[in-house]
Amino acid sequence: MHRDDRGQLERLYCSEELRPWLGGATVTQSNLTHTGRRGTVRGMHLQTPPHAEDKLVTCLQGRVWDVAVDVREGSPTFLQWYAEILDGSENRTMLIPKGFAHGFQTLTDDCIMLYFHTSSHAPKSELGLDALDARLAIAWPEAVLHRSPRDCTHPSIGPSFTGIRS
């Protein structure tokens, strides 16, 4: 980021800097979300092969608790989650790799999130997991006050679920 008396300039995407992380994949789609209410949970979402995607997620306004869950078959961290606070004033981005479900909880009202995806949206490859599933045991930092009707219908993970093949 560059700051001077006029304001600031922030690079949001640079293919050269991201090449080691994206393994040669390119960004094919970007999305912007606005979530109005604190305590809202969006997720957990991913796309399965052949449309699996990496996501670069940035909070432009507000503050969120951003979560990634490993659902890769055979992974040593299978069903473990990792979370970071993303704050619109901190200019940080989180990479969600292929094979990880993604979601977040808003910690303030009026959160705006920017996503860069390495695969276009493919409805037949969508997968959603219940963000409140006891098997995931995600420790949401605040009471979950709102989820979309669609996110509420995502199934819990059954005992036969062994993960997503790459």
Q: Extract long-range pairs of 155-159: CB within 8 Å, 24+ residues apart.
A: 155/128, 155/129, 155/130, 156/130, 157/79, 157/129, 157/130, 157/133
1: in domain: no
Q: Is 85 exposed, middle or buried (0-12, 13-18, 19+ CB in 10 A)?
A: middle
In a domain, 135, yes or no: yes
Domain presence at residue 19: no
Q: Determine how many CB atoms are found less than 10 A away from the CB of residue 122.
A: 13
pLDDT at 3 > cutoff 90: no
Rounded (10°) CA dihedral 19, 24, 29, 31? -40
Catalytic one among 45, 51, 117, 154? 45
Phi–psi pair at 44, nearest 5 degrees? -100, 130
Q: Residue 157 domain-assigned?
A: no
**Residue 4 covered by a domain:** no
Domain containing residue 53: CATH number: 2.60.120.10
Q: Is 45 a catalytic residue?
A: yes
Summarised one tens digit per residue, pLDDT across range 107-134 is 999 999 999 999 999 999 999 999 999 9
Q: Quote the pLDDT of residue 103.
A: 98
Cα Rg for the chain, rounded, in angstroms?
Answer: 16
- The reply to whether 69 falls in a domain is yes
Q: Is residue 146 part of a domain?
A: yes
Give the confidence band of 1 by pLDDT, cuts at 50, 70, 90: low
Q: Alpha carbon 135 to chain centroid distance?
A: 19
Q: Which domain holds residue 118?
A: 27-150
Residue 3 lies in a domain: no
> pLDDT digits over 63-96, tens only?
999 999 999 999 999 999 999 999 999 889 999 9
pLDDT at 61 exceeding the cut of 90: yes
Give the number of domains in the chain. Answer: 1
Say if residue 12's pLDDT is above 80.
no
Distance CA 113, CA 35 (A): 8
pLDDT score, position 16:
77
Q: What is the largest CA-CA distance in the chain?
A: 58
The one catalytic residue among 51, 102, 115, 154: 115
